[in-house]
Structure 1
Amino acid sequence: MIERCPRGHRSGGEERYFRSDIEGLRAVAVLLVVLDHAALGVPGGFVGVDVFFVISGFLITRQLQRERARTGRISLPRFYARRARRIIPAAALVVVVTTLASCIWLSPLRLQVIAREGIWAILSVINLVFAREATDYFHAGGAPSPFLHFWSLAVEEQVYLVWPVLIAVAVAAPVRLRALVRLRALARRRAADETGRAHPRTADRALLLVFLAVAASSFTLNVIVTGRSAPWAYFGGHTRIWEPAVGAVVAICGQGRGRPRPVLASLLTWVGLAGILTAALLLDGGVPYPGVAASLPVLATACVIAGGGAAATHGAGLVLDRAPLRLLGRLSYCWYLWHWPLLQIWAQAGDRPLSTAQRSAAAVASLLLAALTSRLVERPARSRPVLVRRPLLGLGFGASCVAAAGTTSILAAALVTVPAATVAAPARPLGSPAVAPTAAAESVLRAALVRLSAESGFDGVTAGPLTSLLRRALRVDRLPSDLTPTLDGARDDHQANRCLAMFAQTAPTGCVVGDPSGSRTVVLFGDSHASQWSAPLDAVGAQRHWRVVLFAKADCPPAPYPDYFEDALGRTYTECDTWRAAVLRKIVQLRPNLVVVGSQARAQVAGQGPAAMTGLMRDLRATGAGVAFLRDTPFPGFNVLDCLARHPSKISACAVSIAASRLTSAAREIDNRGARDGGALLIDPTGWLCTADGCPLVVGNTLVYRDWSHLSDTYARLLAPYLGPALAAALHSAPTLASARHVGDHIRPVEHESVR
C-alpha cells in the first residue's frame, strides 16, 4: 500500500534517505486498522488508513524529487512500472484467492457479487462502486464485501495516476512563466541551469504552492461532502487527496533549511504519535468522517514524519525504530491485503459473528499469509532486475497480473450455479377468495372493528385465513424449482417501489396508481416499509376504483423525530424533514378519504416515546381523512437470499422465529401505541406472514422477502385480497371511530365489497 523507503543515508544535517522510523510508523498504522476490523478494542483504528495516505504522499513525492534532481526529468513509464511491480502482484493474488475461497465457502448468490467486486478491485475503481452502493437504498445493508478494504488502494492509484504529472507541470511552470514575460535571460540565470532545469529552490517553491492549493481545496471539499454524503466523502479520491498532499508538503519542506532543531523535532514526533493514538482511541463510527476529524491523524502523522526527518535524537524513533515494528512495517501492505478477506469469509461462512478468539486467530493467520506473500510475491516482483531495468516489461507484468485476477473473477461469476435460477414461474395464489358478502356479513365486519381490542401490544400471532398455508410452508425443506422471483432476480423485485424517494430528494412526487380516475382517494405515506405495500394497493385500487397516491421516502420515518440520524449519509437526515413537511401540505390539498401510514419500527428513536406518532395521526385526522396504520412487518435481520442460496435443501433452517423477528420489540410497541393514541385504525399483517411457530421465507412458490427486511413485490401483491377488505373497512369506519381499533387476521379475502 505504501512505497518502500529506499536504503541508504545522507550525512550531515540533510534528511536521511532511508527512514526506519517510517517503517515503524507503517506498523502502527496497519496495527490500528487490523485491531479495528477485528473488533479488538480500537474503535477508531480506521485512522490508520489516513496515516498510510500521508506516508505515501511523503515518500512518493520525495522519490520523484530525487529523480528530477538526478536526471533532470521524471520518467512516467518508470514511475508507473514501479507502482505496478509494488502494488499489483500481491493484490492480484489476494483477489484470486479470495474469489476462490468465496466459491468454496460462501453463498453462490454472494459469489456473483463478490466476483464483480473483485474485477473492480483489481481495476482500482472499487471505491466509486462502494460510494454509490452505500447510498443505494435498495442494495445497501448486505454483508460486507471481502474486497471492501481495496477502496484505499483504489484511491491511491487514482491519486498517483496524476501525481508525477502534477509535479512535472509545477516544476516547469516557473520557466514557462518567465518566457511569457520575455525575461528569458534572467530566467535562465536564476531558475535554470545549462540543461534547462528549474533551479531547485524555484521548483520547490512552485511545488509547495501547488500541493498547498491541492490540500486546501480537497480538505474544503472533504468537509462539505462529509456534511452531505459521508460515503462519497469517505471513499472518494477527491476528498482524500489532501492527505497525501500534506505528506508532499512535508517532503518539500524537508529539503530546505527550515527544519526544526533536534529537541523540537523530538518533541514533535512524540506529539504526533500521541495524536495518532488519541484519534484511534477516541474516534468511532459515530463521528462524521473524514470531515474535520480526519485532520487530527493526518497532521499528527505529518508531525512524526517531519520531526523524524530532522535528526531527532530522543524522539518517537526510540519506539518506531525497534525491530519488531520495522518487521511489521515491511509486512504492512500484505497484512492489510489479507486480514479483511479472512475475517469476512470466516464470519460469513459460519453465518454468525466471530468470537474474540476467532477474530484474534484470523488476525494472526493473515499475518502469516502476509509474510509468505511478501517473501514469495511482493519482494521478488519489486526487485527483479529485468523488470527494474525495463519499465515497459514491468508495466506488462502488472497488466498480466490484472488480467489473471480479472479472468478468475469473470469465470467464477460465469460458472457459479444459483439454485432455482430458472425463469420465474407465475406465483401460486395464497387462497381462494370468498364470495362477495351480503349486507348482513358486511354489518358483522364493521361491528368486528369496534369489538376488537385497542391494545397495541404484541399478543402473539392469532389464527387466520393463511395460518394453515404458512404452517405447511414452515415444514417445507426444498427450494421450489419454480421459485418466483428467482434468487438472482429477487433484489430487483421492487418495481412497485419505483416512486420511493431516495435520500437526496426533498420534493414529493405523488405517484398515482390504482384507478387514477377513481372517485375515492387513498394516500400511502411513510418509508420503505410503507412503500412495500405499493403493489397490493395498486391492485386493490384498480379493483375498487380508488385513486391511490404514493408518498414514500427511503429510511424516512413518517413521524417527525428531531435530529434523526441517517446511517447511509452519516449525518442528520434533513432531507427527510423537508420532504415530510411538503407531503403533509400535499395531503391537505388532496383531501383524501383515507391515509394509510406505514413505518419501520426504529430502535434509535424508541427512546423518544410515542408522542411524535400520536401527533402525526392527529394531524392527518384533522384533514378529515380516515387514518389507518399498518403495523410493521417481521424483520428477518439477515440476507434472506443468501441463506436460501446456501441451504436450498433445508430452507426451513432459514425461517425467522417470532423472538428474532422484532415483532415484540419496544420500538414496534411504541409506534403502535402512538398510532392508537392518535386515533388511527391499526392493521396487523403479521397473520399473513407468520404463525405462532415462526415466519417462513418461501410460501408456495413465492419468495416472501427480497432482502433483510422488505417484502418482495410478488408476495405483497398476493396479499391484495387480504389487505383490500381491511382498508375498505378502515375507509368506511375510521371517520366514525372514537378511538383506534386493530384489524387484520380475522378479515378474510373477498372478491367484491359494497364499501368502495
Structure 2
Amino acid sequence: MTTRAESAQALPVAAPTLPEAAERSSRGGRYQPEIQGLRALAVLLVVGYHFWPEHLTGGYVGVDVFFVISGYLITAHLFKEAARTGRIRLGQFWARRIRRLLPLSLLVLGITAVAAVMILPSTEWQNTRRQIFASALYVQNWILADDAIDYSKADERATAVQHFWSLSVEEQFYVLWPVLLAVVLGLAVLARRGRQSVHGEAVARSHTRTIFLWVIGLLGAGSLAFSIYYTADSAAQAYFVTPTRIWEFALGALLALLLGATQFTGRWGNLLGWTGLAMILGSAYLYSELTPFPGWTALIPTVGATLLMACGGRDSWTGIHWWFSLRPVTAIGDWSYAIYLWHWPVVILSPYLLETADLWHVKVALILGVVVVSALSTRFFETPLRRAKILLPTWRTMVAAGVGMALVMALAHYSVERVEQEFTASDLSEDHPCYGYRALANPDQCGDPFEGTQGLTPSAADVAAQPQEPVHPGCQAGADDDGVPECWLGALASEADGTIAVFGDSHATMWLPALDEIARDAGKRLLVLTRSGCTPRAATFVEADDPCGEANLEILDRLSEDAEVETIVIAASQMMGGFEGPDVEVDLPDSEVELTEQGRSVITPIQVWLDAEKEVVVLGEIPRLNLERNATETLPECVALNEDDPAACNDDLEDTWVSERWLTQSQDVFAEAENYHFIPTEDLLCSEEEATCFAVLGGAITYNDNSHVSQNFVRSVTAELAERIEPALQG
C-alpha cells in the first residue's frame, strides 16, 4: 500500500501517441485525488467480497487494483529520483516504506494474537500463531501457497491474518523492485561512461526511462506468461506466489514511465475512464472462485485500473475523476490501508462473538465500526509514527522494525503458550481401561462414557493437528501420483509369513495404526496401497485423466496374481463420485441390493479378489458427523467450543448416513461368499440404542475432522478390530 503523499510523485513526462480525440492534460507533480478514490473502490470491493462472498463473488480483484496502484506510484518515485540524481537510495526508500506500513500492521497483528486466544477455539490457536509469524516476516503468501498443495491442510479454516498474503506480496515487491532498478541504473551509468563523462551528473532522463521501460516491460511480459501457465497448471498455488503477480505491478510501472501525471481528458478520455471502471466492477460481479485467477482473467480489472488512472474527466457529475476526487471517497482511500488490515480479523472473529453476525444489518454495523477504527488508528497511530523525528534516521527505522516484529512474534507465541498451560490436563492416558472405545464397550466398569467428564486426552488442538502429522508419513499416495506407490508396514520381511494388503482412500489410511499392530502381532507384512481422495473401485473416468482409476486397475491385477498376498482389507469414505460403471466385467452374486453403475464399480474389486481366492476384509463406512457444519466447523473445533458439554457435538445416527454406503451394502451382496468378511465400524463410534454418534468417548475425541477417526481413538479400538479381523487371518 502506498501513501497519500506519494500520490503526488507522478511524473510530468511526455505521453506517447494515443487517439487524437483524447485531450492530454498534464498536472505535473501535484496530488492526484482520483488515485485515492481508486484505492477506496479497491478496498470496498475486497470488504464487500469478504462480508458477502455469495453476492460480490469476484470482489477479490480489488487486491489486483492495489497492486497496479503500487506499481505506478513506487516506480514514479524511483524514476524521479534516478532521473534527478543518477542513483536510488535503497536505505532511505525502505525506511520510508517501513515507517508507512509496519506500525499499523504490527499493531493489528499484536491485537489479533491476543484476541485469537480469547475468542477462537483452541484448535485455531496454533495455525493462527504460525501465520502471525509469517505475516510479521511478510512471507505469508508463500506459507499459504505451500498449504494449498498440502492435502492434509485442504480443509483448514482461514485464520484471522490470512489477508496478510497480499501485503506480503507488496512488501516483497518493495524490497526487490528498487534493487532491480538500482542495478539496471548502475549498469546504464557504466555503459555511458565510455561515451561521455557522467561523474557527478544524473543519467539523462530519456535514457533512464528507456532502460526502465525495456527491463520492466520484459519482466512484466515474462511474469504474465508465467501467471497464465501456472494458473492453468496449479491454480491454488498460483493465486498466492509473487511471480504470478509481478506483471500487475509492472503494468502500473509502465503507466508511470509512459505517462507520468499526464492524463487523457476530454470526451474520449472520460469515456475510457468510465470503461476502466466498468471493467473493474464487471470483474467483481462476474468472477468467482471458479474463475482461473490471476492468469489472463486478471488483465480485465488491472487494465481497467490503468485506464481509470490514465484517462478521465473532471466535469461535475459526468467526469469519472470528479467522482473519484470527492472528499468522502478520498477519505476512504486515505484509510484504505487500515480498513484492509482491520476488516478481515472482524470477519473471522465476529461469528464467535455474535450469533447474528451473518445478518446484513449486523455486517453493515461491523463495516462502519471498521471504518471508524481505521480512521482513528490512521490519525492517531500510523501518522504520528510515520512522522516521528526519532525514527527519521534510516538505521533507527530499521532497528525499530526489527524490534517491533520480534515483539509481535513473542506476543503471539506467549499468548498461546500461556493459555494452553491453563488448560486442565486429563488424568486419562491411552492405556486407561476406560479410554476411548473401551468406555463404550464397558459401561458397567467405566460408567457413563459420553459426557466427557474424564477430561480430554489429547487436547482438541492436538487432535485437530493430526491430519498434518500422520502416524506413517508417506504411506498414502497423492491424488495425482502416477503409478502405484507402495508402503510396507507390519512384520519385517525376514520374519513375516504372508502379506496383508490395504486398499482404499484416506479412510483406509486412517486405520493404519491399528492394522500395523494387527499385522505385526499376526506375523504378516502390511502392504499399504492407499491414495488420497481415491475411492477403491474398478472404474476410470471416461473424459478425464484419472491416475486414481488407472492405479486401482493395476492394483486389481497385481494383488490377484501375488501369491504372498493372502488377505486384502478395503475401506473407503461414504462420499464418492465422478465415475460410472466398472472397466472390469465379473459375475456378481444375485442379491436384493439394487446396484447402480457406481455401486457395481465399488464392489467389483471384492469379486475379483474372491475369484483369486483371497481373504477379503471390508470395513464398513464410518459415520460422517455433522455434515451441515463441515464447511465451517470441525468436530475438534466444536468440542473446543463446548468443553463443558461435548455432547452438544454429537450427531443423530441416521444423519450420519450421507450416501448409499456401497461397502456396507456389500455384506448383503456377498452374504454367501466363504472368503468374504464384513467388519462393521459404526458401532465403534455410535450407540444404536441411543441412535447417537459421539464426539467424545472415554476422554477421547472421536474424529480429527468430521469424517476421519482420530489417531488416538483408532488405537483404542485396535484390540476390538483385531478380534473382528482374526477369522480372515486364520482363513
Query: TM-score over 0.5 for the alignment?
Result: yes
| Contact 1:106 1:349 survives alignment (8 Å) | no
Partner of 1:460: none
Q: 1:358 aligns with which of 362, 384, 389?
A: 362
Does structure 1 residue 239 correspond to structure 2 residue 244? yes
Q: 1:61 aligns with which of 75, 90, 109?
A: 75
Partner of 1:248: 253
Q: 1:498 to 1:269 in 2, by over 3 A?
A: same
Q: 1:78 aligns with which of 92, 96, 105?
A: 92
Q: 2:254 and 2:546 mapped to 1: Cα distance? A: 37
Partner of 2:348: 344
Query: What's the CA shift for 1:646?
Result: 4.1
| Contact 2:315 2:322 survives alignment (8 Å) | no
| Contact 1:58 1:251 survives alignment (8 Å) | yes
| Contact 2:110 2:408 survives alignment (8 Å) | yes
Partner of 1:488: 462
Q: 2:567 and 2:662 mapped to 1: Cα distance? A: 23
| Contact 2:132 2:161 survives alignment (8 Å) | yes
Q: 1:97 aligns with which of 83, 101, 111?
A: 111
Q: 1:689 aligns with which of 668, 685, 689?
A: 685
Root-mean-square deviation (CA, aligned residues, Å) is 3.7
Unaligned runs of 5+ in 2: 13-23, 582-594
Q: 1:501 to 1:10 in 2, by over 3 A?
A: closer
Query: What's the CA shift for 1:252?
Result: 1.2
Q: 1:128 and 1:140 mapped to 2: Cα distance? A: 15
Q: 1:614 aligns with which of 576, 579, 600?
A: 600
Q: 2:418 aligns with which of 415, 419, 435?
A: 415
Residues 570-627 of structure 1: per-residue CA shift (max 9 Å, x gap): xx98654565455445435536444333222337759999523522432553352454
Amino acid at match of 2:597: A
Partner of 1:25: 38
State, as a whole percentage, how many aligned pairs show the same letter: 27
Q: 2:99 and 2:651 mapped to 1: Cα distance? A: 49
Q: 1:20 and 1:4 mapped to 2: Cα distance? A: 8
Q: 1:405 aligns with which of 405, 408, 428?
A: 408
| Contact 1:503 1:553 survives alignment (8 Å) | yes
Q: Which moved more, 1:14-23 or 1:379-388?
A: 379-388
| Contact 1:108 1:416 survives alignment (8 Å) | no
Q: 2:181 and 2:426 mapped to 1: Cα distance? A: 55
Q: 2:650 and 2:382 mapped to 1: Cα distance? A: 46
Does structure 1 residue 644 correspond to structure 2 residue 617? no
Partner of 2:145: 131
Q: 1:52 and 1:404 mapped to 2: Cα distance? A: 28
Q: TM-score when scaled to structure 2?
A: 0.83
Q: 1:473 aligns with which of 449, 453, 466?
A: 449
Amino acid at match of 1:494: P
Query: What's the CA shift for 1:141?
Result: 1.8
Amino acid at match of 1:299: V
Amino acid at match of 2:465: R
Q: 1:647 and 1:496 mapped to 2: Cα distance? A: 31
Partner of 2:121: 107
Q: Secondary structure at the match of 2:686?
A: coil
Task: After TM superposition, list the pairs within 5 Å mapping 1:447-596 onto structure 2.
Answer: 472-480=448-456, 483-484=457-458, 487-488=461-462, 491-492=465-466, 494-496=470-472, 498-503=474-479, 505-515=481-491, 516=493, 518-559=496-537, 560=539, 562=541, 576=548, 579-580=551-552, 582-584=554-556, 586-590=558-562, 592-596=565-569
Query: What's the CA shift for 1:415?
Result: 1.4
Q: Secondary structure at the match of 2:280?
A: helix
Residues 377-418 of structure 1: per-residue CA shift (max 9 Å, x gap): 122223345545x33333334334323322321321331225
**Count of residue pairs brought into register by the alignment:** 681
Q: 1:717 and 1:167 mapped to 2: Cα distance? A: 59
Q: 2:713 aligns with which of 712, 715, 723?
A: 715
Unaligned runs of 5+ in 1: 435-463, 565-571, 732-752
Q: 1:201 to 1:707 in 2, by over 3 A?
A: same
Q: Secondary structure at the match of 2:161?
A: coil
Residues 420-470 of structure 1: per-residue CA shift (max 9 Å, x gap): 557983333469999xxxxxxxxxxxxxxxxxxxxxxxxxxxxx9578899
Q: Secondary structure at the match of 1:127?
A: helix
Partner of 2:394: 391
Q: Secondary structure at the match of 1:340?
A: helix
Q: Secondary structure at the match of 1:495?
A: coil
Amino acid at match of 1:642: E
Residues 635-656 of structure 1: per-residue CA shift (max 9 Å, x gap): 3433333343444333333334
Partner of 1:4: 4
Amino acid at match of 1:2: T
Partner of 1:277: 281
Query: What's the CA shift for 1:203?
Result: 1.4
Q: 1:387 to 1:486 in 2, by over 3 A?
A: closer
Query: What's the CA shift for 1:699?
Result: 2.2
Q: Secondary structure at the match of 1:147?
A: coil
Task: After TM superposition, list the pairs within 5 Å mapping 1:286-325 onto structure 2.
Answer: 286-308=290-312, 315-325=319-329
Partner of 1:454: none
Q: 2:191 and 2:549 mapped to 1: Cα distance? A: 52
Residues 156-212 of structure 1: per-residue CA shift (max 9 Å, x gap): 111211111111222333343455xxxx22xx3xxx767343222221121111112
Q: TM-score when scaled to structure 1?
A: 0.81
Query: What's the CA shift for 1:501?
Result: 2.2
Q: Which moved more, 1:645-654 or 1:20-29?
A: 645-654
